[in-house]
Copies of this chain bind each other. A is one copy, B any other.
Amino acid sequence: MSESNGAIEEEYADLGATTTEAMEIAETSMDIVRQFVPDETLADRVRQKSVHSMGDIEFQHLLEFTGRDEIGNDEDAPIRAGARAVLEFADIVTDITMAKAGVTSRGHDCERRKAIGHGSELAKETGMTRTAASVLELDKRGVYDGAIAVVGNAPTAAFALADCIENGTRPAAVVATPVGFVKASESRERIREVSDEYGVPAITNVGRRGGSGLAAALTNELIHVASDVRNGDLELDLAAETRVAQNEAGDADR
């Protein structure tokens, strides 16, 4: 943090912002976003991040939160599970390089990995996409169990990941936002199916939009939530309903 501007609070809006100007932009930007997105639950934080990342206020309504943790299956479950995994140094495994490049290196000690580049023999033999083959290959090595599995680009990678979950793999949390006109929306629907059926916590979106930038931004918010927990600014193990009630009680006290 720059010492030239004491007005910037230490708790800043974006872990990637490290200069005075960048922090001011990030703060102003999130202030604008919060005018249009609720700020009650952990899921709301992810909604805010999606709006910020996509430059589109309406994107908040396209996110879905599925699966469960020990607290319950409320909308905050995938954020709690994801932040918990960050605090426990889980691997963060993205489908492609671009998504990995977007995941911040700050505020966590997780290993950032990418699937692409593995399983090229399988891709060659079967003709399946390189990303789908890479997911299957890493899954064979047990990489996805307990990991934060991020799919930002490739619908076929999301389908492959869903198959792995059906076959017993249990990621700590899934972030899946493939973009496009062919199978993208369906691949996220399939992630939500296995998320519901096997209780695997997942953050996805509906519709054709999405992408690696979005996936990275949502993953970064999991890291940010984990940082807030680590710093004692946030209690993680609350159901969304309880958190809202506590916020309201806090507001009433003021």
Contacts and interface: CB of A to CB of B under 8 A. Distances in A.
Interface in A195-212: 207-212
**Highest count of chain B CB atoms <10 Å: which of A17, A22, A97, A155:** A22
Contacts of A246: none
Contact of A213 (B2, B127, B129, B211): B211
Contacts of A216: 98
Contact of A181 (B19, B20, B55, B96): B55
Q: Which 6 A-B pairs have the closest CB atoms?
A: A20-B127, A55-B208, A101-B101, A97-B101, A98-B101, A55-B179
Interface of A: 2, 4-5, 17-22, 25, 28-29, 32-33, 52-56, 96-98, 100-102, 123-124, 127-130, 132-133, 155-156, 179-184, 207-213, 216
Given A21-B127, A21-B156, A55-B207, 19 more contacts: A19-B124, A19-B128, A19-B133, A22-B130, A28-B181, A28-B182, A29-B181, A52-B180, A54-B209, A55-B184, A55-B208, A55-B210, A55-B211, A56-B208, A98-B98, A98-B101, A98-B212, A98-B216, A213-B213
26 contacts: A2-B127, A18-B130, A19-B124, A19-B127, A19-B128, A20-B127, A21-B132, A21-B156, A22-B156, A25-B155, A25-B156, A28-B181, A28-B182, A32-B182, A33-B181, A54-B179, A55-B179, A55-B181, A55-B209, A56-B208, A96-B101, A98-B98, A98-B101, A98-B213, A98-B216, A211-B211
